[in-house]
Every structure is written in structure tokens, then in C-alpha cells.
Amino acid sequence: MGARWLRCLDDVALVDAWGGPIDISPDHLPAFGTLDSGRIHWGHGFSGNGVGPCWLGGRILAALAQDRQDDPVTRLPLVDHRARRFPPEPFRYLGARVIREAIVEAEQRDDTGVYVPPPLRWLVRVPRWMGYDLGPE
């Protein structure tokens, strides 16, 4: 895959890779803001894929820390964005476990060409029907 961008990697084997959710938000978007005190700035909800979100997040946090309200990055929809909250515990944990296992099973079946039964297809879409941007469309 790297050879697509860097020809010098044509003969280099890709032996390992990682990507996926780490501190993901319900709508899969990072969010940034400032606490009411005005002295603490925060960012969370990165998906764990790539340098781009970290670079943009750093620019946003720097502009917030320097109180640069005229900076275009402080007017992005990611600033002061509030994602829909997950259900309370224990429903959050139980639901997340069931949905996660269903998504993994459905993806493994799709990848290997094995039939995915309708109840499993239905289950992996439940988060989207509830208004969360999780699972397949």
C-alpha cells in the first residue's frame, strides 16, 4: 500500500498495520472546546487513524489557548460540538458488547463470503437506527 505514494517502497513488504477506534465519539468526530473557566481546553474523540486529525486538533487547541476567536479553525463545527450521549450504564456496556460482537461476526462472514443471516444484519444496524453513526449503513 505504501508503494502507491512512495515508489521506493515497491519491494518492501507490509508486515503489520494498526488502525481503529481509540477514544471514539458516538458520531465518529473529534470535538474541541474550552471549559467554563476559560483556562482549560480539551479535545477528544479521535478515531486513531492518521496524523491529519492530530495536526488539525493541535491547531484548534493552540488557537483556543491563545484566545484567537478570529482564527478559522476555532469556527469549525468540531469546536464546541456535542455528540449525542450513549445510554447510561449498564445498558451502554451490555449494548456495546453485543453490538461489537455482532459487527465483528458480520464482517468476518462478509470477508469470507459466508452468508450473514438477516437477524445479524438487523442487529448491526441498531445503533444507526438509534441515531448513532456506528456500524454499517
What pLDDT is stored for residue 108 in this prediction?
93
**Which parts of 10-137 are beta strand (E)?**
31-34, 41-44
pLDDT mean over 51-58: 82
For residue 127, CA distances in Å to 44, 60, 62, 101, 133 come to 21, 30, 34, 13, 7
Sorting pLDDT into bands at 50, 70 and 90, what band is 1?
very low
Report whether pLDDT(115) > 90. yes
| Mean pLDDT for all residues in the chain | 84
- Ordered by start, the domain boundaries in the chain are 18-83, 91-129
* Residues paired with residue 32 on neighbouring β-strands, in sequence order: 43, 79
Judge if pTM exceeds 0.85. no
pLDDT mean over 26-48: 85
pLDDT mean over 59-68: 95
Report whether pLDDT(20) > 70. no
Q: How many CB atoms lie within 10 A of CB 132?
A: 19
